[in-house]
Every structure is written in structure tokens, then in C-alpha cells.
Amino acid sequence: MHPVRKQRLYLVLFIIVFSSAAVGLVTYAMRGNINLFYAPAEVAEGKAPAGQPIRVGGMVVEGSVKRADDSLETRFEVTDYKASVAVVYVGILPDLFDEGQGAVASGKLDSNGVLQASEVLAKHDENYMPPEIMDALEQSGYDHKGVKQ
Amino acid sequence: MIPEMGHFALIIGLALAFLLATVPAWGAWRRNTYAMALAPRLAIGLLVFVAISYGCLTVAFLQDDFSVSVVAANSNSLLPVIYKFSAVWGNHEGSLLLWALILCMWTAAVAIFSPQLPLLVLSRVLAVMGGVGVGFISFSLLTSNPFARLLPSIPADGNDLNPLLQDPGLIIHPPLLYMGYVGFSVAFAFAIAALLGGRMDASWARWSRPWTNVAWAFLTLGIMLGSWWAYYELGWGGWWFWDPVENASFMPWLAGTALVHSLAVTEKRGLFKSWTVLLAIFAFSLSLLGTFLVRSGVLTSVHAFATDPARGMFILVFLAIVVGGSLVLYALRAPAVSSRVSFSWVSRESLLLFNNVVFTVATLTVLFGTLFPLIVDALGMGKYSVGPPYFNAVFVPLMALLAPVMAFGPISRWKRDSTQRWKAELLLPGVAAVLCAITLPMLQADYNLWVALAVLLAAWLVFGLLRDTWFRMGGAAGFPRGLRRITPSYWGMVLAHLGFAACIIGVVATSQYAIEHDLKMSPGDTDSLAGYDFRFIEVAPVRGPNFLADEARFEVTRDGEFVAFMAPQKRRYLASGSIMTEAAIDPGVFRDLFVAMGEPIGDSGAWAIRLHYKPMIRWMWVGAIFMAFGAFTTVLDKRYRRQRSRAASAADGAEYAR
């Protein structure tokens, strides 16, 4: 074989081997490190699996936020106005987290159907609404103030 | 009146950009010297008008002209002047105008600083940049006009700038980032010009290289500032979240890093030409993709603004034209610029090839992780999110693979080298690195294997560089005369690689040794972490220019000795009513202390408090600064200037002008 061709062949082989290793790594990393979003109504219907990492988002129900007196535990409910899901989070909540605002919690559902959240995301500016919540509200047929459309 | 002038100037800018995109290109095709010679003048005119337009918007902000909707939505009469200045780009419309302005700056800079370029090449390069300008200015004018008025109901006062953006770091973060993003348009324009001309040689790489290095340096600084800002402003002490928009800036950086290295091979050895062209297209396309991701609001992110689907559509179409068009051109022309030189496996070429493969794969994996949720959603298979564990699992091994090979790069020879020579050269650095890896982590109480590995890789890199510098200067006999023999481009490489080593140490030490306590504290309580005692003294109300705050006061001591007084705040901004955490940080070379406030707990005056001990976190940012300054230094190299004086004799230009 011509030396230049031979080199090119080795090069292609190297790239193929290296890329397949990378693809393997990616597939491995994807397992268990991605999580699916569920609207509160879907959780209420029992569509969300318990014990697996998921995200649930919606509007934080007015009057539902209860902070413990002696720890950093916070309990609240998120709703798409069709159903609500109870969430427990231990830690410091983001600044823009508030009642009547959108929030996405990620964590695992326990056997009582309560989401044990490891992370809570709130929206980051006045007008912005995470797209997942937008869709969840659209499907339930309410706007973000809870007015039936 | 002033906003209308700005609007008008922007329209003139669009017209000039259109002329720049067409007339010189036509001139280059028909070999019409007059049409080609128009290019530099049009480029400067374009800059002037876009700068006027930008200036008008800035004036509207400084004058609190709340009849302009962007000003009303993003400024306030109480906002400090410096933030009125930066509020111009703290919103979608203004940041796009800034993008267009920076693009025009780069275009004019190419026109001014390239007298050595043959007119034919220059006109093609400027025409491509003009084309990109048409895209962005019309995007601004058609979908997000920054000068739109709120008439007749003018608000009495503005909504205020998002408090997260009221911060000195954010004043320069976006401009630097954009300098980098848009700077890759120069590399892109050179690549397209080369494809159009069907000619690409060492001088092509020599022209394109300084621009690429400078753009890369700006992007590095921009990303570093973003990470620094996230660390002290977002209030939870993280410095990189693998957020889609961070990825959007990181992907062009990764592709740009590959490009910077592959350009070296193209310049020195005339190899990898078509690959270099492809990388240049790739890097700029990723910059555009980043814009799309940020501006279309398709992703949940810290950076997402309230959005409008028309904008996303516009950029998507623009992206399709740029990527599609340049790839078609590439497919048609790339065979014409391919190279016929061979190299041995043991050579600098193959090491740089390894670099390119690693960085390309890294780019693709980040790209995959970022786009995966979008693709799956588009297919209707659910709303997934891909978290930091994925990116860490993929990215960290890739970088760990890169570092051992990096030490061979500088020391190796072009074309053909021998493993015996490598062994002889690198035996000493290797032994020294192993010794460091064994001893240094012992300074901490428990021996950490990950840190030992990081020290091993970083020390291997550093000692390899020292060995090579020593060798180049001619050993002890050559000191200090030999130092002067070393070129700026070599110093630049040394600086950048040292910076990379510092980053490795910083990232690994911070992630392994950091200690974080989130707890409830009442005034008078003390908590200790890593030997530091944090005493919560009191909470006091504080008034700022446009906010009210609760300030928690902490005294930090170590073994009874005073270390620092720290005062984090919880602010409430008056105009918007939004709440913001202002962390207190005591910085140091070997450790940062970080205190932030959560919410009040109960009625007894207790607060949720976040205490962090972050060792060596600054090393990461200092490393990034080293990398950026390294890239800036390479531009000082004489060979880029020598080329200019030779071109003055026009011998080089003649063969291009034909």
C-alpha cells in the first residue's frame, strides 16, 4: 500500500476507535444522569415512577409553603391547577422562589407520593417562565394565574 | 429624537453591510480593482454608523428616556450610572446591538490592520464579514428593534435592571464574551475566502492565526468572568453548572482550541488544511448556535430572557444558511485545498492531531448533551434534562487523556522525532512530577488520590515546559542571552499551557477539598469548618442606592486569631421588589471563605446560612487568565509583522492579484 494511504488508513482507524470509546462513554454517562419532567397532573395519575430521579414543575400553591422552625426543611406544593404534588426540600431555596411563582423541583417520589427534592429551580427574571411549566399549564388549560382559558 | 437617529443610523448600517457583502465580492469575482478597493472603506463606514446607533441607545439609557421600551424595561432613575451604561447590553435587544457593534469592530480591524493582505483576499474576507453583518443587523431591526418607543403612555419610571446583572463583573463579561464569539467570524471569513479562492498555503494560515488567537483569548476571558460572576453573585458558591448557555459559550471555545492548534500545523507544515477550514466553519457555527440557544428561549437556563418565537426562527434560518452554505462550498472546494505532505507517527504533527481529536470529541459530547433534551422533545418523547453528572463523566476523562500527551508537544520536533529522544528529554520531568504527586497531597490531612493524579498531570506539564524552555535557551551557558532568542509565540504557548496546568489543580482541589455547610444559625452561634470559626454576630438593616438589605455580620477566626470580618446581604430591590443574595467572600491564594444568607427561620432572628470553604478556587481563574494572555502574547511575534513589510514590496501580492 502507498505509505500516504497507509497512514490515512491508520488515522481513520484511530479516529473510529477513539470515537467509539467516546460514544461508549456518552452512553454510559447518559444512563441514570438524565431525568424526565412530569406535570403535577401526570404525577397524580400515577404516571411518574417512584424512586427514580424525575422533575416536577408548576406554580407554587399560595399558602402551601411551610418552613420548619429548627432545620432547613421546607414543604410546599406545586400545581398545574388540575392536581398538586407535595414537595419536601432541605436546604436553601433560590431567591426568586415564592408562592404563586413557577418552580421546578428535581428529586425522587417517595412511597407517599411526596417528592423528596434535591434541587429546586425558580425562574430567574420577572417575565421568564421555564418552558416545561408553560407546557404543563397549557395542557391543563389554565394560565399562570390559575385562570381557566 | 435621539433614539430615532440611532434607528436611522442602524438602517444606514444595514445598507452599508449589504454593499460590503456584495460589491467587493463581485469585484473579486470580476477582478475589478475599484470594487475590491471599496471594501476597507465600506467596513469603516459600517463601524461608524453602527457605533452611532449604539451611542444613541446608550444616551437614551443615561438620560432615563423611559419612552424607549428597552430603557423602561431595564433601567430605573435610581440605577447607578455605571449600571445604566451596562444595562444597554443587559437585555435582548441591546445585547444584539452590541453583538452587531463588535462584529463591525472586528470587520474594521481586519480592514485597518491588514495592509499585508492581497486586495483579492481582503475583499473576499470583508465581504463574508459584511454578509454576517447583514444577518445580525437585520435580525436586530426586524425582530428586536432596540429603539421601539412606548407611545403615548410613557411610564413614569423604569422597571429597573435585573438585580443579578447589577454587578461589576457583568459590566465586562458580555462584551468580552462577544469579542470572542464574534471574533471567530474572522477565522470563518478567512476560511470562506480561502475556499472561494481555491488557494490555501502557509501565508493563509499566517494571516488567519493572529486573529484566531486573539478571538480565542477574549472568549477565554469572557467564560472565566462568567464563571467568576456565577460564583460570587448567584449566591450558592458554584462556579460551573453545565447550564445550556454556559455550554453555548464553551462549545465554540473547545472548537476554537482545536482550531488554534490545527492552524499551527497548517502554518508550519502546510498540513491539515481542509480540516482547519472545517474547524473554522465549525467554531463560528457553534457561536451562532449559542446565540440561537440563548435568544430563542428553547432551553431552561439562567440566561434565558423572555422570548418571542419569531426571533428563534430568524436565527435558525440564518444558522441554516451559514452552516449549509459554507458546508456546500466546503464540499465543492475542499479537494482543491487538500495537502500532500506526509509525517511520521512520532512527530509534533501527530501530537497536535491527538489534541484535535480530543477537543473535537469533547465539543461533540457537550453538543450532544446540550441538544439531547431539544431533540427528544421535538420527537415528542418527553421532556428530559441532562445534568452535570453526564458532562463530568464525559468531559473529565477526555481532559485527563489530553494532559499526559501535552508535555510531549512542545518538546517534540516537526515531521519526524524519535521516542529515544523523548525518553531522554522527559525522564527528569517525569520523575520530578511523580515525586510532586506523592509528596504535595500529604500537606492535607488525608491523602486524596484524585488530587494526587491532578498534581501528577499538572507537574508533568510544568516540568516538561521548563525542560523545553531550558533547552531552547541553550542551557545554563545560554542564560540570559538565550532568553532573548525565544520568540513571543513560544512564550505565549508556555503561558497558556502553564495556565492549563493551574486550571487542572484549581478544579480538582476545589471539587475534592471543598467543605460546605448549610445550617440554621442565630446571632451568637459559632460554626467551624476546616479550622475556621465563623461567629454570627448580628443582623442589621442596610440601605443601598436602589435597595434595602439585611446584613448578617460574621467574625472569622482561626485558632483564636482574627482572619476576616464578613458581611453577606439579603437585598430587596425597590423598583422590582426582587430579592437578591449578596455573598461575602474572603479571597486567598490557597483558600476562599464564602458566606451567604438564605431565608429567616422562625421568629427568633435565626437565619439559614451557607458557609463554604473553597481551597485553591482562584487557581482556575488565574489559569484562564494565563491562557488568555498567552494567546495575546503570540500575536506579538515578529513573523506576523515581518510579513507586512515584505508585502509592502508587493512581490507577494502580485501573484494573488494576477
Tell me the pLDDT tens digit for each residue of A34-55: 778 888 988 888 888 888 888 8
**B205, B142: one domain:** no
The lowest-confidence range among B335-339, B528-532, B635-639 is B335-339
Mean pLDDT (chain B) is 87
Q: What is the pLDDT of residues A83-96, one digit of tens each?
A: 899 999 998 888 87
Indicate whether A8 pLDDT > 50: yes
For residue B395, the chain A residues in CB contact (below 8 A) are none
A124 at B interface, C-beta within 8 A: yes
User: Which of these, A93, A86, A89, lies nearest to A58 by C-alpha position?
Assistant: A86
For A102: left if phi > 0, alpha if psi spans -120 to 50, otherwise beta; the answer is beta
Q: For residue B487, tell me if it sits in a domain.
A: no
| B505 falls within a domain | no
* Residues A65 and A136 both lie in one domain: yes
Which amino acid type is present at position A20?
S
For B533, the 3-state DSSP assignment is strand
Given a cut of 80, whether residue B186 has pLDDT beyond it is: yes
B325 in the same domain as B213: yes
Query: In terms of domains, do B13 and B115 share one?
Result: yes
Same domain, A113 and A59: yes
pLDDT tens, position by position, B27-80 = 999 999 999 999 999 999 999 999 999 999 999 999 999 999 999 988 888 889
Query: Is residue A136 one of the residues assigned to a domain?
Result: yes
Tell whether A107 and A129 lie within a shared domain.
yes
Do A63 and A83 lie in one domain? The reply is: yes
Question: Cell numbers at residue A103, please?
Answer: 418552580
Q: Residue B12's domain spans which residues? A: 1-161
| Position B75 in a domain | yes
Residues 600-639 of B with CB under 8 A from A: 601-602, 608, 610
A2 is in an annotated binding site: no
In this structure, the answer to whether residues A93 and A116 fall within a common structural domain is yes
Rounded CA gap, A58 and A82, in Å? 11
Quick check: helix, strand or coil at residue B407?
coil
In a domain, B539, yes or no: yes
Contacts of B306 (CB under 8 A, 6+ apart): A125, A127, A128, B297
User: How close is the nearest chain A Cα to the Cα of B382, in Å?
Assistant: 7
Nearest CA in chain B to A93: B598
Q: Would you say residue A148 lies in a domain?
A: no
Task: Phi first, then psi: give them for residue B563, nearest 5 degrees.
Answer: -110, -55
Shortest CA gap A125–chain B (Å): 7
Which one of B108, B127, B161 terminates a domain? B161
- CATH no. for residue A40? 2.40.50.140
What is the per-residue pLDDT for B297? 61
Quickly count helices (H) and strands (E) in chain B.
22, 11
Residues A6 and A23 in one domain: yes
Tens digits of per-residue pLDDT, B485-498? Answer: 888 889 999 999 99
Spell out which residues of chain A touch residue B519, defining contact as CB-CB under 8 Å.
72
Which uninterrupted H or E stretch holds B601?
A: strand B591-601
Model confidence at A124: pLDDT above 60: no
With both helix axes pointing from N to C terminus, report the angle between B168-197 and B92-112 in degrees, rounded to the nearest 10: 50
Please give the pLDDT value at position B337: 62
Residue A148 identity (one-letter amino acid): K
Q: What local confidence, expressed as pLDDT, does residue B381 receive? A: 79
Query: For residue B656, what pLDDT is reported?
Result: 45
Please indicate, yes or no, whether residues A83 and A29 belong to a single structural domain of this protein: no
**What pLDDT band is residue A102 in, cutting at 50, 70 and 90?**
confident
Confidence of residue B172 (pLDDT cuts 50, 70, 90): confident
Domain boundary among B161, B184, B207: B161
Give me the percent of chain A exceeding a pLDDT of 70.
87
Which residues of chain A lie closer than 8 angstroms to B159, CB-CB?
A: 126
Give residues 574 to 603 of B whose Cβ lies within 8 Å of A: 576, 578-581, 596, 598-599, 601-602
Query: Do A23 and A57 sit in the same domain of this protein?
Result: no
Range 42-81 of A in CB contact (< 8 A) with B: 55, 67-72
pLDDT at B38: 93
Residue of B nearest to A16 (CA): B357
pLDDT at residue B649, as a whole number: 43
Does B631 have pLDDT greater than 90?
Answer: yes
Instruction: Spell out which residues of chain B touch residue A94, defining contact as CB-CB under 8 Å.
Output: 236
User: Amino acid identity, residue B264?
Assistant: A
Identity of the residue in B300, B581, B610 whose CB atom sits nearest the CB atom of A132: B300
Given a cut of 60, whether residue A2 has pLDDT beyond it is: yes
**B168 and B150 share one domain:** no
Residue B654, pLDDT > 60, answer no
B387 touches chain A (CB under 8 A): yes
Give contacts of A68 with chain B, Cβ < 8 Å: 601
Asked if B432 reaches chain A (Cβ–Cβ under 8 Å), the answer is no
Task: Measure in Å the smallest separation between the Cα of A112 and chain B Cα atoms.
Answer: 24
Residue B408 lies in a domain: no
Domain assignment present for B102: yes
The answer on B188 and B129 residing in a single domain is no
> What pLDDT is attached to residue B643?
52
A50 domain-assigned: yes
Q: Is pLDDT larger for residue B254 or for residue B605?
A: B254
- Residue A128 assigned to a binding site: yes
Q: Please report which confidence band the pLDDT of residue B609 belongs to, taking 50, 70 and 90 as the band edges.
A: very high
Domain count, chain A: 2
Regarding whether B178 and B139 lie in a shared domain, the answer is no
Higher pLDDT, B479 or B225: B225
pLDDT at B442: 83
CA atoms within 13 A on the CB side of B579: 13
Count of domains observed in chain B: 4
What pLDDT score was predicted for residue B655? 40
Q: Print the domain residue range for A12.
A: 1-34
Is it the case that residue B555 has pLDDT exceeding 50?
A: yes
Q: Summarize pLDDT for B432-469 with one digit per residue, the tens.
A: 999 998 888 888 777 889 999 999 999 999 999 998 88
Quick one: B296 and B169 in the same domain?
yes
Residue A118 lies in a domain: yes
Residue B43 lies in a domain: yes
Any B CB within 8 A of A130 CB: yes
Same domain for B77 and B156: yes
Lowest mean pLDDT among A135-144, B550-559, B599-608, B649-658: B649-658
Based on the fold, state whether residues A105 and A129 are members of the same structural domain: yes
**Does residue A115 sit within a domain?**
yes
Q: Are residues A54 and A28 in the same domain?
A: no
Confidence grade of residue B1 (pLDDT, cut at 50, 70, 90): confident
Lowest mean pLDDT: which of A14-28, B180-194, B318-332, B356-370? A14-28
Q: What is the mean pLDDT of residues B632-636?
A: 92
CB contact under 8 A, A22 and B608: no
Instruction: Give the model's confidence band at B299: pLDDT under 50 very low, under 70 low, under 90 confident, else very high.
Output: low
Question: Could you tell me if residue A119 is inside a domain?
Answer: yes
Number of cross-chain residue pairs from A and B with Cβ atoms under 8 Å apart: 122
Does residue B154 share a domain with residue B78?
A: yes
- A78 and A120 share one domain: yes
Q: Which three cell numbers stand for residue B485?
A: 532568542
A129 and A83 within one domain: yes
Q: Are residues B448 and B308 in the same domain?
A: no
Averaged pLDDT, B115-144: 92
pLDDT digits (tens, 9 = 90+) for B508-548: 999 999 998 888 899 999 999 989 999 999 999 999 888 99
Under 8 Å between Cβ of B549 and B542: yes
Residue A149 within a domain: no
Does residue A145 lie in a domain region?
no
User: Using CB atoms and an 8 Å cut-off, which of residues 520-539 of chain B contact chain A?
Assistant: 520
Residue B306 has pLDDT above 60, yes or no: no
Confidence band (pLDDT; 50, 70, 90) for B300?
low
Say yes or no: B300 contacts chain A, CB-CB below 8 A: yes
What are the residues whose beta carbons fall under 8 Å from the beta carbon of B494, sequence distance 6 or more?
A: B410, B465, B469, B630
Domain boundary among B161, B186, B204: B161
Q: How confident is the model at residue B647 (pLDDT cuts 50, 70, 90)?
A: very low
CB-based contact A25 B302, cutoff 8 Å = no
Q: Is position B631 within any domain? A: no
Residues B176 and B293 in one domain: yes
Nearest CB among B304, B364, B520 relative to A71 is that of: B520
Do B152 and B185 fall into the same domain? Answer: no
pLDDT above 60: residue B600: yes
- Mean predicted confidence (pLDDT) in B204-228: 93
Pick the residue from chain B with its C-alpha nearest to A26.
Answer: B394
Per-residue pLDDT at B554? 95
Q: How far apart are CA A81 and CA A40, in angstroms?
A: 9
